[in-house]
Amino acid sequence: MSLFSMNHKVAKALLALVSVPLLAAPPATGQRAPDFSLQRLQGGMVQLSSELAKGKIVLVVLRGYPGYQCPFCNRQAQDFLTNAKGFKEAGVRVLMVYPGAAEGLEKRANEFVRDKPFPEGFELLLDPDYRFTRLYDLRWNAPNETAYPSTFVIDQTGVVTFAKMSREHGGRTTAIEILNVLKKR
């Protein structure tokens, strides 16, 4: 292969890369959180903008059902539920998003909450076929994966005041970490 044809191929490849649109990024601190509507596990819809009219939101994105109930998700959800009183005292609502393929998602979400009573101010929301997950650019597109575990604190104006995303199963936000963030604001 001649040097010219090799350089021509490299130039074409670089041109193709430049013409690819940049990927969106998850909402960062200081940015407006994209509005969304998701179904509650118990029925009915939740719209972020309507919930924000009631106060701050802690948005916890779980892995949902990647072929099994994630033990890290179970631990994180239990941690937040155990600290429900602190969230109530801070005047925030906690929305947990459970993503997955639409078929069987509600059944799997019911399995997830079976031993976890959700108190007032906590909701489990279904994300069928990753609509929300893609909107927030949290789709973990690998075998047996669903979404990157993430936590956002969103103020009443819709601005993200805290954001943390883990690119692994662990490394998640704890309830105490979020309660400390809320005390500072």
Q: What is the pLDDT of residues 118-142, one digit of tens each?
A: 999 999 999 999 999 999 999 998 8
Residue 62: other Cβ atoms inside 10 A: 26
Domains annotated on the chain, with CATH? 24-184 (3.40.30.10)
Global pTM value: 0.85
Q: Does residue 12 carry a pLDDT above 60?
A: no
- Residue length of the chain: 185
DSSP 173: P
Collapse the DSSP code of 99 into the 3-class scheme (helix H, G, I; strand E, B; otherwise coil) and give the result: strand
**Share of residues in the chain with pLDDT > 90 (%):** 74
Selection from 74, 64, 61, 88 nearest residue 166 by Cα: 61
Per residue in 55-69, pLDDT (tens digit) is 999 999 999 888 888
Sheet holding 45-47, edge to edge: 45-47, 37-40, 122-128, 93-100, 57-61, 150-154, 160-165
**How does DSSP classify residue 139?**
B
